[in-house]
């Protein structure tokens, strides 16, 4: 499976408005600097699901659900990690770079890891 670079995941999380993404799926109420809602991951009548704009994560005091916007999309939409990254990348207008994979080739051919891997592949092929 192609690996997605960690810095890209960080960038997606940083560029995605967690309130917009969660707010499009859950009815959020503004509470001071944060937002709260009835938790979508367990059954409840009083909101214990909080979303922090500053920290860019959600936390439920009821069931302990906790994570970034990426984790939320995975949990809520039942997506795999790659699918969730692609979904958020598309929203942010970013293209998902791949560190390996035959289809499109490397996003950045000067990537050191890629060059090292290519050298290894070449030397093992000629041996």
Give yes or no for residue 104 binding Zn ion (CB under 5 A).
no
Give yes or no for residue 39 binding Zn ion (CB under 5 A).
yes
Cβ closer to Zn ion: 9 or 19? 19
Cβ closer to Zn ion: 43 or 112? 43
Nearest-angstrom CA–CA distance, 117 and 101: 12
Size of the site for Zn ion (CB under 5 A): 7
| Closest distance of CB 52 from Zn ion, Å | 15
Burial of 39 (0-12, 13-18, 19+ CB in 10 A): buried
Residues 60-99, mask of contacts with Zn ion (x by CB under 5 A): x-xx-x----------------------------------
Q: What's phi and psi for 28, nearest 5 deg?
A: -95, 140
Q: What's phi and psi for 109, nearest 5 deg?
A: -65, -15
| String of DSSP letters for 4-47 | PPHHHHHHHHHHS-HHHHHHTTS--EEETTEEEE--SSS--SS-
Q: With CB under 5 A as the contact rule, which of the stretches 10-18, 54-62, 91-99, 108-116 interacts with Zn ion?
A: 54-62
Choosing from 29, 30, 42, 66, the residue that interacts with Zn ion (CB under 5 A) is 42
* Structure-token pair, residue 58: 């959600």
Which residues lie near Zn ion (CB under 5 A)?
39, 41-42, 60, 62-63, 65
């Amino acid at each position: 499976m192609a690996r997605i670079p960690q810095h890209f995941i960080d960038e997606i999380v940083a560029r995605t408005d967690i309130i917009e993404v969660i707010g499009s799926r859950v009815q959020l109420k503004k509470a001071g600097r944060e937002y709260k809602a009835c938790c979508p991951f367990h059954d409840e009548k009083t909101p214990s699901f909080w979303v922090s704009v500053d920290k860019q994560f959600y936390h439920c005091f009821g069931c302990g659900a906790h994570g970034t916007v990426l984790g939320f999309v995975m949990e809520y939409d039942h997506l795999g990690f790659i699918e969730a990254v692609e979904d958020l990348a598309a929203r942010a207008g970013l293209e998902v770079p791949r560190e390996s994979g035959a289809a499109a080739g490397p996003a950045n051919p000067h990537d050191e890891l890629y060059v090292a891997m290519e050298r290894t592949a070449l030397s093992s092929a000629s041996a």
